[in-house]
A and B are shown apart, each in its own frame.
Chain A
Amino acid sequence: DTEVTQTPKHLVMGMTNKKSLKCEQHMGHRAMYWYKQKAKKPPELMFVYSYEKLSINESVPSRFSPECPNSSLLNLHLHALQPEDSALYLCASSQGVGFNQPQHFGDGTRLSIL
């Protein structure tokens, strides 16, 4: 069982829709991450939040908008996505800030853009 919970598990949306992905962890971790993963590829970092503040944005298109309402929650707001955005979106958290910390991944949201 994963300690990082992501909802929904699957999402199908049209290119004009607005939807949100949610991630929750109750381990007291201070850093949270969004990754995008295509089939047969490694995870690609999108955003990093450290102490609830956005610390890294890997030049992600503005149609992806992250939000960190509190230390346990991380959202990814989606708007006007493209078919190439179809992928597995993974949330992760780590106890401390910095990439020398093990990351705990959620099960992911499988997103399909029609």
Chain B
Amino acid sequence: GQQVMQIPQYQHVQEGEDFTTYCNSSTTLSNIQWYKQRPGGHPVFLIQLVKSGEVKKQKRLTFQFGEAKKNSSLHITATQTTDVGTYFCAGLNNQGGKLIFGQGTELSVKP
């Protein structure tokens, strides 16, 4: 079945450093969503990417969708302690079906 692999599993950074998490799908996706879950909290929708090669920015966050629509990345510039949490990608394949979540990347930021 469809799988969405996400790496790294954990990332520890010093405040001010950049951070990137990557997702790869075994099949072509129709769209990919990104969620953030703070420790003890619930997933919060960040963004959805639909078009091949799409790049979207939200302040210090940059989201990319690959040309083949099989991979995606989230890049945070100059991390802050408020960025702490687990970032999940979730992809929907071209044949419909349900959203497949990646395993998540847990980000910790040292002040």
Contacts and interface: CB of A to CB of B under 8 A. Distances in A.
Contact of B30 (A42, A100, A102, A103): A100
A28 B38 CA distance: 26
B89 to A, nearest CB: 9
By secondary structure, the A interface counts as loop
B42 A41 contact: no
B104 A56 contact: no
A42 B33 CA distance: 13
B6 to A, nearest CB: 9
Interface in A56-99: 56, 58, 90, 98-99
A43 interface: yes
B98 interface: yes
B103 interface: yes
Interface in B41-73: 41-45, 48, 50
Closest 4 CB pairs of A and B: A42-B101, A105-B42, A102-B45, A99-B99
Interface of A: 2, 40-43, 45, 48, 56, 58, 90, 98-100, 102-108
Given A45-B98, A106-B42, 4 more contacts: A40-B104, A40-B106, A56-B98, A103-B99
